[in-house]
Amino acid sequence: MCAPTSMCPPLALCLREGTQQSHSLAENTVLMKCLRNGLISAEPLRQWMASLYFVYSALELEMYNHADHPVIGRIYFPRLERTLQLENDLAFYYGDNWRRQIQPSRKTIRYVMRLHAIANDQPALLAAHAYVRYMGDLSGGQGLRAKIRSALKLPEGLGTAFYEFEGLPTAETRRAFKGVYRDALNQLPVDTQLATQLIEEANLAFKLNCDVMHELASQVKATVSEATWELITHENLPGSTAHLPPPIELVSA
């Protein structure tokens, strides 16, 4: 089995370095650049949150269903679940009958189908999707929360529940929990082959996420000026992992 030794690097590090290009591509989608620059309006945001609702509902259902799996069980942290938080946000943006107003987009359906497929065929790969989603929510997602609240002038306590984690109210507590999560990843009972598959699946998770965001580009364009659109679409932001060393090669222990 693959253990965190000099011959086989820690899985958390492998995932981080093995997805740096995909991470950068995600951060350079039009939707994400507008979010990071505080240029978002309510319509594309609520559609984005609706897509996230379908994705997290599928992911968290399958994580729950496989909580006894030898890999998934070790990184199953119910406190990270976002489905109920997204329900609160959707009720704010759409009203009490929000369930009747939202539908998954074509790319969202593809994302959800992938989650259910690997849950049936190779549940361990769900760990890659959980890593991509939750580590992002605990990291860059916190900055997005502030940008959204400022751009939309949201009422106190409404509209950004997705980015709020009960029991992790500060940057320090979130940073500490990310350390716990990385330690859990590093202790997963995976061999070199599975570790490689997890990295590949994490890259696919980023791509599926990008595809959903690309679908919303036209809605974003409709809410900004032509000059702002040109600036945003030609801006290239280095991802937070874009300048790391080359990915570590996995070696069997």
Q: Which range has the worst mean pLDDT, 39-43, 117-121, 196-200?
A: 39-43
Q: What is the per-residue pLDDT for 237? A: 57
Residues marked as binding for heme b? 16, 23, 131, 182
Q: What are phi and psi of 136, to 5 degrees?
A: -65, -40
Domain that holds residue 66: 22-234
> Do the domain assignments include residue 240?
no
The structural domain count of the chain equals 1
Look at residue 207 and tell me if it is in a domain. yes
Torsion of CA 138, 131, 181, 135, to 10 degrees: -10
Residue 2 within any structural domain of the chain: no
227 or 119, higher pLDDT: 119
> Does 185 or 239 have the greater pLDDT score?
185
CA atoms within 13 A on the CB side of 136: 24
**Is 71 a member of any domain?**
yes
Cβ 126 vs Cβ 14: under 8 Å:
no
In a domain, 243, yes or no: no
Q: Is residue 249 part of a domain?
A: no
31 inside domain:
yes
- 189: in domain: yes
- The stretch 182-193 carries a mean pLDDT of 96
Residues annotated within the binding site are 16, 23, 131, 182
CATH number of the domain where residue 199 is located: 1.20.910.10
Element (H, E) at 174: helix 171-186
Contact assessment for residue 176 and residue 72, using Cβ atoms and an 8 Å cutoff: no
